[in-house]
Structure 1
Amino acid sequence: MHVLFCLQIDEQSYGNALIAIVWLTGVITPMVKFLYDPSKRYLSLNRRRTIEQSTQDIELHLMACIHDQETTPSLINVLEMSNPSLENPICLYVLHLIQLRGRSTPVFIDHQPHCKTNPPQKNYSQHIVNAFRSYERQKSNNVAVKLYTSISPYETMHDEICMQVAIKRVSLLIVPFHKQWKSNGMTESAHPIQALNRQLLRTAPCSVGILIERGALNISNPLTNVTFYSVGIIFIEGNDDREALAYAMRMANNPIVRVTLIRLMEPRKKYKNLSNRDPDGDLIHMFKVDCIQIKRHGYKEEVVRDSVEMINVLKSLEGCFDLVLVGRRHESESSLFSGLTDWNEYPELGTIGDMLVSSDSTFDGSVLVIQQQKRSGIGYHDFHLDSGILPKQENLTIVEFPSDRKVWPIV
């Protein structure tokens, strides 16, 4: 026997219940967002991973993010400049990022030969996969390329990238700038990519490089052309500049790369002994010892008294380099940056990077802006992302991250 109960409520009771449901939903949603922080899974690292701290005789792990296939030639050129060899092999993880549309569950696709993937999904990335596979075959045992496709919303895409960075133990994450320069001089901008890059700068558990593709870097193809690359490094001071220099020193071992270090110094610092006083001086001294003896490399000191003279030095670099490496932040209250941060068009590039690629700049080469992720810890965010000047702060406590923990959701 089935008994049917009918409950009748008046309009006032129904209205009160509806208001209670809306109120609970409005309270619980922000509470969940506040209490659940996905970044805890990858920010709790037992140590930070950087180019500066990696040794030359072990495999270097890099990760590159791609939004469309037009970025592929530039990333292959950067990989070629990074000097993959039997003595210094490179493992490159390529993530093809696609915005999630029409479904609620993110998709992660492994394009390794042993993995079976649904053909319609695989076609999204097939041209990218083919290009990197061809480069991997050309380099035989010097480069290992592992390709993936990640389909997720832009709002949470940074968490999925950072989770892969932590699992793969990546030292440098390279992401494309949100603006692309076309051969006809026109530019295309994608603001969701800009927001993604800023989130990665805040939370990535490794160093981050933003690649601005201009000039010959996104035209020449190392698979078909034998190209000689000219690389410049603008060095002022700080962790990010050292990370850029450490990466350039790895490139300097490549016989088809010419590296020029440009040291910008204030007059009162010109006669400071750089060899054994500070980390900046130690690394510059190492560059002089290891690289200057190779005739194709160079070192220049430019004494600049203020921001105007620094801008003049940057303007003189036009037409000199295929790629320029710069640090994003500078731990300084120097007069060199006086007033410049107020005019930053792209704060995620820092002061120097912004001056090289801003709309009124005439610099025609590609730029790689590098940030060394100095701090790791739960809840850390770069509150100085809107400025290229970073005051000195104390390190946060670093807790251990179990290497065998598998938390990456694969669907």
Structure 2
Amino acid sequence: MEFRILACIYHQDSTSCIIRLLEVTNPTAKTPMCCYVVHLLQLTGSLIPLLVHHEPGKSAKFHAKDSSHIINAFRLYEQECNGNVVVNLFTSISPFSTIHEEVCRLAAEKSTSLVIIPFHKQWRLHGIENIAEARSVNRHILQKAPCSVGILVNRGTSSASKNNNLYDIGIFFAHGSDDREALAYGLRMAKHSKVAVTVIHLIDLARTSQDFHEMELDNDIITEYKIQSAGKRQHSYRQESVNDCVDLIRLITSVENSFDLILVGRSYGSCSPLFEGLTEWSEFPELGFMGDMLTSSDSQCQVSVLVVQQQISRA
């Protein structure tokens, strides 16, 4: 089936990392992709909100700052994919208090499986820029989106790999629907010949309650990854037992800078002391326990992170 993604962009600097993410999502003739890219612009003054569709071969109806750069970059990417990717480009100009409604409406109309939104803190050559208004937009999309959502924390490593041969992706898997969604996305990436995936399965020794249905679902997708990666040297799987949040932090900090991109789930259904301890100093709750740990101001992580939330479709 065609895999449909809606990618949001606040600033043109996010263009290269979004394109890199689409590349490693592995669009092929058998597994094509349809991408809806929306440049989000804050409406100022008394103008009427607009959603402009930039159709190929037609003159632009609206010229916004940076939009032409974004459009040209994605058109070039589409051409290089030789028909495996179709890109539809939009510019949305609305108040940031309601622009999430346009994003969610478009995701529902186009039946997308995943919405990608950039984190409100942007790592750039001149330093870190904070798009404060984007944070509330992201939170609203997490709450309202009719499909799964990924928040992309771009530190530059998602644009260019340190390894000329392979693009290294690490997935921290504990349990729950969000972790399964992150691993499901990783399974698609693992089919790319230039991608190496490492799954680190965190065995939560502090977990007191066990939902056997959830455990079966976790085991099913782990088994699927093992079968798919069997005999492929670039992929690996390992289990790590952790007793508490100190163990968890120690483990993650020991390997976090070994990758070009890290995938994590956003939240966990069970009440585990392993994650409860991390809420005390949570800086960015919208990223969940692991995402916050990898992104907070005192983190030593220099790698891009994609935080995934599975969403149940709603009317």
Please give the TM-score of this superposition, normalised by the length of structure 2.
0.93
1:191 pairs with 2:96: no
What is the match of residue 111 of structure 2? 169
CA–CA distance in structure 1, aligned partners of residues 65 and 133 of structure 2: 23
CA–CA distance in structure 2, aligned partners of residues 370 and 169 of structure 1: 18
CA–CA distance in structure 2, aligned partners of residues 282 and 173 of structure 1: 25
* Residues 273-292 of structure 1, C-alpha deviations (whole Å, 9 max, x = no match): x9996101101011101113
1:288 pairs with 2:226: yes
Residue 338 to residue 275, structure 1, CA distance change in 2 (3 Å): closer
Code of the aligned partner of 2:234: R
What is the match of residue 388 of structure 1? none
What is the match of residue 245 of structure 2? 307
Match of 2:87 among 134, 145, 149: 145
Residue 194 to residue 276, structure 1, CA distance change in 2 (3 Å): closer
What is the match of residue 374 of structure 1? 312
Code of the aligned partner of 2:72: N
Residue 101 of structure 1, CA deviation: 1.4
Residue 275 to residue 253, structure 1, CA distance change in 2 (3 Å): farther
Contact 2:17 2:156 survives alignment (8 Å): no
Residue 123 of structure 1, CA deviation: 6.1
Contact 2:11 2:66 survives alignment (8 Å): no
Contact 2:168 2:261 survives alignment (8 Å): yes
Secondary structure of 2:277's partner? coil
Match of 1:260 among 186, 198, 217: 198
CA–CA distance in structure 1, aligned partners of residues 125 and 63 of structure 2: 30
1:250 pairs with 2:188: yes
Contact 1:275 1:281 survives alignment (8 Å): no
Residue 275 to residue 320, structure 1, CA distance change in 2 (3 Å): farther
1:316 pairs with 2:258: no
Contact 1:216 1:365 survives alignment (8 Å): yes
More strand by share: 2
1:59 pairs with 2:2: yes
Secondary structure of 1:165's partner? helix
What is the match of residue 232 of structure 1? 170
Contact 2:158 2:261 survives alignment (8 Å): yes
**Residue-pair matches, total:** 312
Alignment of 1:330-409 (within 5 A): 330-374=268-312, 376=314
What is the match of residue 153 of structure 2? 212
Residue 339 of structure 1, CA deviation: 2.2
Secondary structure of 2:191's partner? coil
1:74 pairs with 2:22: no
What is the match of residue 31 of structure 1? none
Code of the aligned partner of 1:244: A
Identity percentage over the alignment? 45
What is the match of residue 27 of structure 1? none
Alignment of 1:111-150 (within 5 A): 111-113=54-56, 115-118=58-61, 121=63, 124-150=66-92
Runs of 4+, deviation exceeding 3 Å: 114-117, 274-277
* Residues 336-386 of structure 1, C-alpha deviations (whole Å, 9 max, x = no match): 113211211000000000000110110111000000013635xxxxxxxxx
Contact 2:206 2:274 survives alignment (8 Å): no
Residue 277 to residue 334, structure 1, CA distance change in 2 (3 Å): closer
Residue 146 of structure 1, CA deviation: 0.7
Contact 1:234 1:262 survives alignment (8 Å): yes
Code of the aligned partner of 1:333: C
Residue 336 to residue 101, structure 1, CA distance change in 2 (3 Å): same
Residue 188 of structure 1, CA deviation: 1.1
Secondary structure of 2:239's partner? strand
In structure 2, list runs of 5 or more residues that go unmatched.
Answer: none
Please give the TM-score of this superposition, normalised by the length of structure 1.
0.72
What is the match of residue 96 of structure 1? 39
Bigger Cα Rg? 1
Residue 292 to residue 215, structure 1, CA distance change in 2 (3 Å): farther
Residue 112 of structure 1, CA deviation: 1.2
CA–CA distance in structure 2, aligned partners of residues 194 and 276 of structure 1: 31
CA–CA distance in structure 2, aligned partners of residues 161 and 227 of structure 1: 36
Code of the aligned partner of 1:196: V
Contact 1:275 1:282 survives alignment (8 Å): no
Contact 1:71 1:218 survives alignment (8 Å): no
CA–CA distance in structure 2, aligned partners of residues 59 and 281 of structure 1: 26
* Residues 149-190 of structure 1, C-alpha deviations (whole Å, 9 max, x = no match): 111110110001100000110000000000011235x21111
Residue 70 of structure 1, CA deviation: 0.3
Residue 311 to residue 127, structure 1, CA distance change in 2 (3 Å): same
CA–CA distance in structure 2, aligned partners of residues 218 and 210 of structure 1: 16
Code of the aligned partner of 2:68: Q
Code of the aligned partner of 1:111: H
